[in-house]
Structure 1
Amino acid sequence: MTETPEIVTPKIVTAAMLVIGNEILSGRTRDANMHFLAGRLTDLGIRLREARVVPDIEETIIAAVNDLRARYDYVFTSGGIGPTHDDITADCIAKAFGVGIDIHPEARRRLEAHYEAGMLNAARLRMARIPDTATLIDNPVSAAPGFRIGNVMVMAGVPMIFQAMVTSVTPSLVGGDRLLSRTVLALVPEGAVAEDLGKLQAEYPDVDMGSYPAFRSGKASTAIVLRSTDKTRLDAASEAMYAIFRRMGGEPFENEIV
């Protein structure tokens, strides 16, 4: 008698991203950081479960930080740590954690080393204000550091600097089981495959399945994205999806496992 393979519960580590800035909500600036962060976290076995955008309003930022840090293993913020009056993220983080904030000696030293003599004015020195108990996140691009306090990573909004800060902090992050992915596509309308896809999902509850319709060469097509930490289960579900598409008269194909 053949036993059904046991479904192993994966180790899941979660994260959220908090994008801070009126310029994002107004449409003046397009956020370019979430895609980068999601990719890096996926490589580490960390699942980005939520992304939220909030304005430069103190009470809104504080509430969002406290909500997200209580529900996810990691929180990554972007924006609001520059030299101008509307850069209030550091102060908001300090209030969210109930700690003080002041010029951090090492942050000041880095800025002094970066700017020419006499160029470190009061506005730029604001970027050295770090909440008590926080540790610095390196910024090899423009010196002004981000910081980490608890499970919250606070970083700049400028994409080049944000990416450098993410790279600096990733060695300290602890991930879970890496999520593998396969995408099976066919020139079959989504409505035609929906019922069978629902049955397949019920058969493989441990494999995440998403359906994405599009037009290819003027014809309706459907891409089914399957994700799991268990390669054996992922392969089995993908092969079953192949069979479903073929029954519908489509010739399925797929991308590489990532």
Structure 2
Amino acid sequence: MTAPSPTAAVLIIGDEVLSGRTQDTNLNTIARLLAALGIDLLECRTVGDRKDQIVDSLNALRATHDYVFTTGGIGPTHDDITADAVATAFGVALPEHPDAVAILARRYGDDFNTARRRMARVPEGGTLIANPVTDAPGFQIGNVFVMAGVPKIMTAMLEDVAPRLRTGAVVHARTLRVSGVGEGSIADILTAAAKAEREISFGSYPFGHGSVGEMGTSLVVRGRDAARVDAAVEALAAALTAAGVAVAPI
């Protein structure tokens, strides 16, 4: 029997995201990586720079998913409290990690001040995540990966994270484009397809509404068995065609 694919959640941390000052792109980057590794991303939460909220969210997510990825709040300023919150969530101390101290000391030299030393704090038992952009490391503790919020840095950190993850069966996806028809007009056909093949996911995504030009619906068929996905797409396309709906693969 094939083992189930690993599951994951993302915890985005930062008042700047909730205020709208910063647009998060890290979720998309993480989601694409996990999809390529066959890991199911099932949940995402966004919280501000509030320790209790971070602790509660982290404990809930790490108890229900194989992996949790956090972004944000590991810089040198007073509101960078992610390391403190993670240590509290795991019930461990938050000492300076000697390797992190050495990395940062080389990076900053005489400018390695008290604020920058905050970035060397790692919950007891944690291991470092390399940061080839600015050197200041992230860290892993248990099934939690703590990374920077700056997208360029977070993306670079993922290169060190990816080899640590257990992979699963990759999800295959096919798309059909239905032109000139809204999703409400084909909902019954899509529902019947989903009932006929319960191991396959069928998604409906309308386009062109409220704008000049072509309108229609993109139908995305997803599953881990490529042959079953292909068969489901062929069956769906045939049902749409029989109903007089113009359909084309993408």
Q: Which residue of 2 aligns with 1:5?
A: none
Q: Which residue of 1 aligns with 2:60?
A: 67
Deviations 1:185-221 (A, max 9, x none): 1112211110011011000000011111112873431
Deviations 1:73-122 (A, max 9, x none): 1000000000000000001000000000011100000011112x311011
Output the CA distance in 2 between the equivalents of 1:163 and 1:100: 28
Q: Which residue of 2 aligns with 1:85?
A: 78
Q: Which residue of 2 aligns with 1:48?
A: 41
1:111 matches 2:87 = no
Q: Which residue of 2 aligns with 1:100?
A: 93
How is 1:162-177 mapped onto 2 (pairs within 5 angstroms)? 162-177=154-169
Query: What amino acid sits opposite 1:162 in the alignment?
Result: M
- Aligned residues of 2:189 and 2:240 also touching (Cα < 8 A): no
Alignment RMSD, CA only?
Answer: 1.4
Q: Which runs of 5+ in 1 are unaligned?
A: 1-7
**After TM superposition, which residue ranges in structure 1, 4 or more long, deviate above 3 angstroms?**
none
Normalised by the size of structure 1, how large is the TM-score?
A: 0.92
Q: Which runs of 5+ in 2 are unaligned?
A: none
Helix, strand or coil at the partner of 2:110: coil
Output the CA distance in 1 between the equivalents of 2:242 and 2:21: 48
Aligned with 1:37 (options 1, 25, 30):
30
Query: What amino acid sits opposite 1:141 in the alignment?
Result: V
- Report the CA distance between 1:9 and its aligned residue: 6.2
1:124 matches 2:111 = no
- Report the CA distance between 1:253 and its aligned residue: 1.9
How is 1:1-258 mapped onto 2 (pairs within 5 angstroms)? 11-115=4-108, 117-187=109-179, 188-215=181-208, 218-255=213-250
- Report the CA distance between 1:245 and its aligned residue: 2.3
Normalised by the size of structure 2, how large is the TM-score?
A: 0.95
- Report the CA distance between 1:24 and its aligned residue: 0.3
- Aligned residues of 1:136 and 1:147 also touching (Cα < 8 A): yes
- Bigger shift: 175-184 or 87-96? 175-184
Output the CA distance in 1 between the equivalents of 2:223 and 2:172: 5
Output the CA distance in 1 between the equivalents of 2:149 and 2:24: 8
Q: How many residues align?
A: 247
Query: What amino acid sits opposite 1:68 in the alignment?
Result: L
- Aligned residues of 1:42 and 1:179 also touching (Cα < 8 A): yes
